[in-house]
Chains A and B, each alone.
Chain A
Amino acid sequence: MATEASASSSDFIKNLGKMYGAYTGGFIAFIILLAVLEQVGVPNKILGYLFVFFTLAVYAIIGVMTRTAQVSEYYVAGRRVPAFYNGMATGADWMSAASFVGMAGTLFLLGYDGLAWVLGWTGGFVLVSILIGPYLRKFGAYTVPDFLSFRYGGNFARSLGVIVLVACSFTYVTAQIYGTGLIASRFLGMQFELAVFAGLVGILLCAMLGGMRAVTWTQIAQYVVLIIAYLTPIIILSTKQYGIPLPQLTYGQAIADIAAREQQMLSSGLATVAGLKPHIQPFINYSPLNFFAIIMCMMVGTASLPHILMRYFTTPSVREARQSVAWSLLFIFLLYFSAPAYAAFSKLEVYTNIIGANVGALKPWIFNWGELGLIQICGKNAGSIDAIIAACKSIAGHPGVVRLQDFVINTDVIVLSTPEIAGLPYVISGLVAAGGLAAALSTADGLLLAIANALSHDVYYKMIDPNAPTMRRLTVARALLVVVAVIAAATAATKPADILAMVGWAFSLAMAGNFPALVMGVWWKRTTATGAICGIIAGFGLCLFYLVTTRYFPGMGVKYFGMTSLINPLTGAPLVDIAKAMALPNAMESFPTLAHPLANKIGWFNLTNIACGLLGTPLGFLVIYVVSLLGREPSKEMQAYVDDIRKPRGRTVLEEKTT
């Protein structure tokens, strides 16, 4: 039985190229089929449904086919995933709804300063590979807390690891489920709450029966969908406008055109100097400190996020784990180096065809998004021509053409509206929706699995019932997965206000909580259990304190902790008048709007709380170092284990009972 299973699974690995090749071809044929259906007059709504249900059905089928009853398959996909495919799965795991839908919009809004996110969400993989990932693979853990527990003397360190993991993953998964709800409600016209739970069913079908194994093979399928969906519209757009199907190169011209148009808008009075933020001018949305702080926190956060690290537990060898990180970044790079092209093409379109246009002569695609409240002109939702004309008339001295200050666009619209801007058929819009859904679902799968695995493996099996038989372990794991998923969906359905900032916070929390202990555990043998435990508590604690105080208790921050107002990077003026704000108790708690890219108004050193990891992490390292030196050095056995982790050859340090 066992040999039969392993023989059939090695056949499975050998045929991966054929299978996913056929799948990709099938997907492209499906797009062409829908394009034909559109031409013969099938309504858009039906096309949208077909897209979403076809892709969801494929993920669900893969999820069901790859179900498993083996522990090592459930937790680490049997450690058989080749580097190339694991790279693809990590790409889908990594790229969330925020990357797919939000990134281009952020770049549209912030120009150069938005590139902090592009840099931050790519460069971290260098740290994964050189500092942590391959060593954890050699160690042989199922979860990140596994390593902390083994290296740092048991269940106290393990429970700290679980707390950090849940803190950073839960907020993040909530944002993903929110993202699925948003996309489904926009494209299918479903009610938002209903869409959230429909997305939830999709996620559970993928992850519940097969754990890591099922999630891996669906994530690869989801990567194919999301990357085709992301690149197709701008490749067509670039070919149409510049004759070359390489948007990543042709948008250089668009940037030059934007700069020229910006000058023109200023000289013709369509924009004011105060209102126009030149696209390529650096440090006008973030101060240099915050720009580099965000890059640092996103990068180090990448190397500390459990759902990313655990993807590298699934490769057959340490060598392949390293190669796999490189493949991951290549697949991620394909999307991230295209995002600025989306931003530039959209911005050029808005600046040339909307700004300066007569309010009565706007293109119809605007109204589709205006109706949903995502585009506003003259302070009102741009639902129809009449609404816009009326709104602009009511502004005293309005010239009758749209000025820059009259136009407000929600950042999510940039990617979703590009097919319409380019005048492409609806089938491309449907494709983009399917891609956004794939991005949100795949990330949600990875995160849910990370949380549920920590609870079932670390808390239940390792701490509560170490003698639990395999069947019960897997049942508990599945039950917990459903419970966590339902809680996350219920949270998402309430549309929490801070949802976008939460993704940024997750990185800082992971960085402050995990990074020092993981790096020191591998790279410095002298690190003691007490040192690491103190370091995790101090680093994570300081990060959490800064975040919570600046966001929710700014008054206390000013009164007791010497916090001051952040500075507007453009004007150098404080964001809030502290004396006034202290008199009005809620003045500093109101959340800075989307147009303001910082998530807090007061703090230390003018530092945004998204980058609170920059405070916690150095403290974590320092505490680990000092406390370790004060204590006795770790036992000879422990030091020998660390030596073992450093050598790829040989058995894993931790041998899990698998039957």
Chain B
Amino acid sequence: MIAYHLIYIFFGLGVLAGGVNVVAQKNPVNSAISLLFTFMCVAALYILHGSPFLAMIQIIVYAGAILILVVFTIMLLALREPGRGLGKFWTMPQKLAALIVGAALAVELAIVAVQGLGDLAAPAGASLAEIASPATLGKALFSKYLLPFEVASVLLLVAIVGAVVLTRRPHGTAAAIDAPHADETIAPPAGDEQGGQA
């Protein structure tokens, strides 16, 4: 049991250290990799809580789809000068706004954590492995929570259509001929998110 707690604390500290490092790094790519580290540590925490399914989804969706898109964007924008950080572009009002939003989020999290402490006990008559198994989650998702699930997929579909519309240029312009695979480069993350969710 001691070993469990030590491992738990290790990954918990990893989440915190990664999160702090995301903000502290000058280079945006380093920040993104810190964020990757944080996601992995969160996945490890899910596993320690007995839910490998959530852990895997966490890695596939956040690390495999969303963060990859972020890294792509950073690399495409900073193409000319690798190593130039975004840190110096932050003005004082921006820093202040970030501080306020961050503090609000922290308070919110604290409230949720305190309120949630009462609900920690698992329902009687079922083992943790059963509750967290993909089969149980799947059944719940397609019966009790079918409507939110479908609404979320429609939302993602709207996002995909939006991305396609935004990247589409009018036919016949020079740009459309010039960049035949612009659509395809933008499209993957949107589709991948959908694949990860489904």
A binds B: no
